[in-house]
Structure 1
Amino acid sequence: MAFKAQSSSLVRLFLVADKAPLWLLLLAALVGVVAGLFATGFQLGLHQVLAWRVEGLSLWAQWGLPRWLLAMAMTAVMTVLALWLTFRFAPEAAGSGIPEIEGALDNLRPVRWWRVLPVKVFGGFLAQGGGLVLGREGPTVQLGGAAGKMVADLFKVSKDNAHALLAAGAAGGLSAAFNAPLAGVLFVIEEMRPQFRYGLISIKCVFIGTVVANVVYRTFLGQNASIEMPSYSPPELGTLALFLLLGGLFGAFGILFNKAILLTQDWYGRFHQGRLGRRLLIGAVLGAALGWLTVYGPDLTGGGIELIPAVTVGSFTVGALLMLFIGRVVTTLLCFGSGAPGGIFAPMLALGTLFGMGFGVLCQALLPGLDIQPGTFAIAGMGALFAATVRAPLTGIILVIEMTNNYLLILPLLITCLGATMVAQALGGKPLYGQLLARTLAAKVDSEKA
């Protein structure tokens, strides 16, 4: 009898703890709707800006002006406007914005959604629409988080509930950006684990926001995977050691890549010294250079998502893949380090694909006795670089699987991402977004002292 009474008491206690207010769950769904609309609108708007840029170049070229000169001028102007808009009205909208959301979850950074939302959208249109090597996925996470804070402020919810809605918006933003709902949930739970306040209510809000945002995305853009790629069969067991080796290589490269990002930001900082005019000068030079590349080296520009399918079908030799990899490393560092509004998710996925594909093609040539599909190494590389730099291996695995619809490659992805994470940890690497947030907080302290 006593045992039954105790069990009944525990069940009632669990039900009480598990009971989330219906109004909060409805607000989480509203956050999902808003985040999904921002993500969908941002993607559609960006595609339209890119199309307008191509049409504008063709129109002006009819007047006899060199196409490369027009491209340089147009991208330079768009980059300057993007940087002016960002650093004049909402400096926190610079870059991907994910460190800002992590800081907000830890009550270390404000979320001025009334500034961030318009600046991030239109600044992203200008910077990414001009051809800079930036992605829309990180900004979409910040847009989703800002949408969550907007709903929390408008409905005047408590601080704990506002935290849950902010996390729900961030997860919904990633879910809609990649059409990857499970990865959206895992990103908040895994990558933002130091800041996210775990609880049954907050987890429910994240799930609801993610699901609703993804439904909104699929309503407008369909249910296909975000990257159209071949469906690969599981690799032979004898080739799994090669995936571990690839992961180790990415683990070492991931540390160097993170350090290079910070060094590039320092290099820019020594030049502009926080002055808007110098930032705009950087934007003009950077935009002109990238504009020239959009004509003579288009594969070195843009976010890189569109490049991934072409790489995996074997359109490039090993030498071409290596050269393209090195070139995109340079353009990625220069564009992301400038502070222009745009993320690094897509550029990193493209880099992982290029190196992984090159590794696979090389292994195929050196080990003809094994049945090697180079495309499987390209997909594994996408997840491995994400795991090595962001240090969220589970998110990287699920993200790549959902993006490419290659569920049969979960084992090689696990092995590659595990190798990348272990090597990065062994070499003392730190997560990229954590380092960027720490630099932002340190810069704030220095400015207050000054």
Structure 2
Amino acid sequence: MLGREGPCIEMEAMIGQGLAEKTFKTDAEGLKEMQECGVAAGLAAAFSAPIAGALFLVEEISFSFKPRKVISILAATFSADFVTILFFVNKPCLYLPVNGYLPVKIYWSLPLIGIALGLLAYLYQYVLLSLKPWFSKIKKLPATYHSIIPFVLIIPVGLWNARLLGGSHVLIDDLFNNNLGLHQISSWSFITIPILLFMIRFIFSMLSYGSSVPGGIFMLILVLGALLGIICANLLIKVQIIAPMYYPHILVISMAAYFGAIEKAPFTAIMLLTEMVGTIQQVLPMIITVFFAYYVLDLLGGKPIYEALRLQMNYHKLN
């Protein structure tokens, strides 16, 4: 239950390194710049989000944005996006068209959603960073074969619902379009079903990552954010705070907040979801919710997840 976006970023960074070392014969500074361009281009290609790709590089990888690098980084992101358009038409791989503004009168609920998502973002970070120590305690099974554990356990889940497996682009589409019809259910299933789906995705994604199965956590975070958004939206609809037509608004806003908190990359989160949605109508609600989620995680001592993982694995920053 891991995504392909993380490996896409890694492969683009390696392409940048290869060009720097083999083609352009650059110095150490040029090598870093080519790697950074590859990172930004990888995200831009994965989501058709060139601006988010550049912001991701600043907030999560290099932690700096030197003016002289702006042109090369933007050239890399926009060219990567253009190539994907040539092959896959002018539509993101995860297109979430949300139209209309969220009513101002329900903005008071956004801080509450942000606080809840911030707490759950800290839980995500805590579990993810604890996986390597936990798996290292498994002595009877060599680390090379740890992937057998999630492989065996996930078979029943795949037989029950294959849409839950992999990066789950299809699952997000179903949730966004309300193909499950959850908020129309009269019983408590409108809340128990998304909670169950969240727990399945959370547990098995952690098992997959902890066992060193190849894959990224980028899409995983967005999927979990979508499920949490559904829980929030269904609750607000059931108590008649919002109309069902605003269901996708809460889903998209929650995805941005959960992602922005875990990654500690608020600008990337807001821009990524804005480029997915295709309009700026949800920017203000996203800013409010992302702010509270980010602030809660910061108060709890959360760190940027990629930086924390890099330190855990003794990797060095690009700069």
Same fold (TM over 0.5): yes
Task: Name the structure 2 match of 1:339.
Answer: 212
TM-aligned CA distance change 1:263 to 1:219, over 3 Å? same
Aligned match for 1:296, one of 144, 148, 160? 160
Q: Name the TM-score, length of structure 2 as normaliser.
A: 0.90
Task: Name the structure 2 match of 1:328.
Answer: 201
Task: Name the structure 2 match of 1:92.
Answer: none
2:108 paired with 1:244 = no
Task: Name the structure 2 match of 1:121.
Answer: none
- Rg larger in structure: 1
State the alpha-carbon separation in 1 of the partners of residues 103 and 12 from structure 2: 41
Q: Note if contact 1:239-1:372 (Cα within 8 Å) is conserved in structure 2.
A: no
Q: Note if contact 1:251-1:420 (Cα within 8 Å) is conserved in structure 2.
A: yes
How far did residue 210 of structure 1 move?
0.9
Task: Name the structure 1 match of 2:5.
Answer: 137
How far did residue 368 of structure 1 move?
4.6
How far did residue 193 of structure 1 move?
4.0
Q: Tell me the amino acid that sits aligned with residue 169 of structure 1.
A: G
Structure 2 gaps of 5+ residues are 183-189
How far did residue 370 of structure 1 move?
6.3
Q: Tell me the amino acid that sits aligned with residue 338 of structure 1.
A: S
Task: Name the structure 2 match of 1:172.
Answer: 41
2:90 aligned counterpart, secondary structure: coil
Across the two proteins, how many residue pairs are aligned to each other? Answer: 306
How far did residue 248 of structure 1 move?
1.0
Q: For the aligned residues, what is the CA RMSD? A: 2.0
Q: Note if contact 2:40-2:73 (Cα within 8 Å) is conserved in structure 1.
A: yes
Q: How does 1:297-316 map to 2 (within 5 A)?
A: 297-314=161-178, 315=180, 316=182
Percent pairwise identity: 27
2:281 aligned counterpart, secondary structure: helix
TM-aligned CA distance change 1:166 to 1:319, over 3 Å? same
2:98 paired with 1:231 = yes
Task: Name the structure 2 match of 1:163.
Answer: 32
Task: Name the structure 2 match of 1:130.
Answer: none
How far did residue 203 of structure 1 move?
1.9
Q: How does 1:5-404 map to 2 (within 5 A)?
A: 133-154=1-22, 155-194=24-63, 196=64, 198-271=65-138, 278-314=142-178, 315=180, 316=182, 317-368=190-241, 373-404=246-277
Extract structure 1 runs of 4+ deviating beyond 6 A. Answer: 369-372
How far did residue 161 of structure 1 move?
1.6
TM-aligned CA distance change 1:281 to 1:159, over 3 Å? closer
State the alpha-carbon separation in 2 of the partners of residues 402 and 369 from structure 1: 25
Cα deviation, 1:309-328, whole Å, max 9, x if unaligned, reads: 11122213322111111111
State the alpha-carbon separation in 1 of the partners of residues 77 and 243 from structure 2: 41
Q: Tell me the amino acid that sits aligned with residue 145 of structure 2.
A: L
Q: Note if contact 1:246-1:416 (Cα within 8 Å) is conserved in structure 2.
A: yes
Aligned match for 2:278, one of 405, 415, 418? 405
Task: Name the structure 2 match of 1:69.
Answer: none
2:216 aligned counterpart, secondary structure: coil
Aligned match for 1:414, one of 275, 278, 287? 287
